[in-house]
């Protein structure tokens, strides 16, 4: 398959990442179907699209025609079969749990045409852990967008050991046509490029808070005002979701058995309290207003 044959995209998962990836694809001229098992999540995603596109017109970021075309290009359904049957390219954006992703990819393998490329938006789980759940390992690739996907430009494409050159190149070019800046990893690496670097920052920042050395807010102030980061690690965790940090650390710990990979006590506490950041109205910061 070449890039010009990609006309229809299926996005699996209508959460914060999924529905924004779907809108970005629709804005780029692709027919996009976004699917989720949760009717509530689908409703929120559809409402977001209906609000976001006119707002961009009011701000002068889109023309009325662009917004109208994007709205016509995107649809939502709770049927994975309906969403994927015509797909040329699938982007999975489900929860960061390996077994869940393997199950989704096994279903997609059975539902999609043989030439369809199956990409995962996972921020940590490498494609080779998923590929053997399908009969098309050469077409299973990491395509990692960053949150918020409508704003952040970078996309990481990982060329795992089973990924064909064709699949990798088509994925890179699709990212470009979605107005993103793709980077290619020639080898699989836990956390890829950005999160591998960020993991060290998170680990040290959480250690300081776990040990009572400083508050999350003061750590953020230090990182922002001394190191020049636009956003400190705790505000960033609030944005991406503390639940995501918890699941990623848990999966890694189950894989390695190394206590250093286990979730921080601070993250566990926030997870149990369901203070997951901006999405729930409270995390390390209060977003209730």
Same domain, 47 and 138: yes
3-state secondary structure of 266: helix
User: What pLDDT score was predicted for residue 38?
Assistant: 95
**To the nearest 10°, the Cα dihedral for 245, 247, 248, 252?**
130
Same domain, 155 and 235: no
Same domain, 163 and 123: yes
Same domain, 75 and 148: yes
CB-facing half-sphere around the CA of 66: CA atoms within 13 A: 16
Residue 96: pLDDT over 90: no
Domain boundary among 153, 185, 217: 185
Band (pLDDT 50/70/90 cuts) for residue 190 is confident
Quick one: tokens of 216? Answer: 């999350």
CA geometry: angle 173, 16, 247, nearest 5 deg: 100
| Residue 59: partners with Cβ closer than 8 Å, 6 or more residues away | none
User: What pLDDT score was predicted for residue 22?
Assistant: 98
Residue 288 in domain: no
Quick one: tokens of 7? Answer: 């006309």
Q: What is the pTM of this model?
A: 0.85
Quick one: tokens of 189? Answer: 């690496």
Residue 159: pLDDT over 90: yes
pLDDT tens for residues 198-223? 889 999 999 999 999 999 999 999 99
Quick one: tokens of 87? Answer: 């797909």
Residue 285 in domain: no
Quick one: tokens of 57? Answer: 């017109």
Same domain, 123 and 221: no
* Cα 161 from Cα 165, distance rounded (Å): 11
| Residue 200: partners with Cβ closer than 8 Å, 6 or more residues away | none
User: What pLDDT score was predicted for residue 167?
Assistant: 98
pLDDT-above-90 percentage for the chain: 92
3-state secondary structure of 179: coil
CATH number of the domain to which 230 belongs: 1.10.1040.50
* Range of the structural domain that residue 272 is part of: 194-280
**What's the mean per-residue pLDDT of the chain?**
96
Same domain, 45 and 119: yes
Same domain, 154 and 35: yes
Domain boundary among 163, 185, 207: 185
Residue 184: pLDDT over 90: yes
Same domain, 96 and 209: no
Task: Give the end-to-end CA distance of the chain in Å, rounded to a whole number.
Answer: 48
pLDDT tens for residues 102-126? 999 999 999 999 999 999 999 889 9
Same domain, 111 and 200: no
Give the count of beta carbons closer than 10 Å to the beta carbon of residue 200: 10
Domain boundary among 117, 150, 185: 185
User: What pLDDT score was predicted for residue 103?
Assistant: 98
Residue 231: pLDDT over 90: yes
Residue 287 in domain: no
Residue 115 in domain: yes
The mean pLDDT of 167-180, rounded to a whole number, is 98
Cα Rg for the chain, rounded, in angstroms? 19
């Amino acid at each position: 398959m070449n890039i010009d044959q990609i006309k229809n995209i299926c996005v699996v998962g209508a959460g914060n990442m999924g529905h924004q990836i779907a809108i970005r694809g629709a804005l780029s001229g692709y027919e996009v179907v976004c699917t989720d098992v949760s009717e509530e999540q689908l409703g929120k995603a559809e409402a977001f699209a209906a609000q976001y596109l006119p707002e961009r017109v009011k701000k002068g970021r889109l023309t009325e025609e662009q917004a109208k075309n994007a709205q016509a290009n995107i649809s939502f359904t709770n049927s994975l079969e309906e969403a994927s049957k015509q797909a040329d390219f699938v982007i999975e954006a489900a929860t960061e749990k390996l077994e869940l992703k393997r199950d989704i990819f096994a279903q997609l393998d059975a539902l999609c045409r043989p030439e369809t490329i199956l990409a995962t938006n996972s921020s940590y789980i490498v494609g080779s852990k998923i590929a053997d759940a399908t009969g098309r390992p050469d077409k299973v690739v990491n395509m990692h967008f960053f949150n918020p996907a409508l704003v952040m430009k970078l996309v990481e494409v990982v060329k795992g050991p089973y990924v064909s050159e064709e699949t990798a190149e088509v994925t890179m070019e699709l990212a470009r046509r979605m107005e993103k800046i793709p980077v290619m990893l020639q080898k699989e690496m836990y956390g890829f490029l950005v999160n591998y670097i960020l993991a060290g920052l998170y680990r040290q920042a959480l250690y300081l808070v776990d040990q009572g050395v400083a508050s999350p807010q003061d750590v953020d102030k230090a990182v922002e005002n001394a190191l020049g980061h636009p956003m400190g690690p705790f505000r960033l965790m609030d944005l991406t979701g503390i639940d995501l940090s918890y699941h990623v650390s848990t999966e890694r710990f189950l894989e390695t058995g190394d206590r250093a990979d286990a979730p921080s006590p601070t993250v566990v506490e926030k997870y149990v309290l369901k203070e997951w950041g901006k999405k729930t109205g409270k995390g390390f910061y209060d977003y209730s207003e």
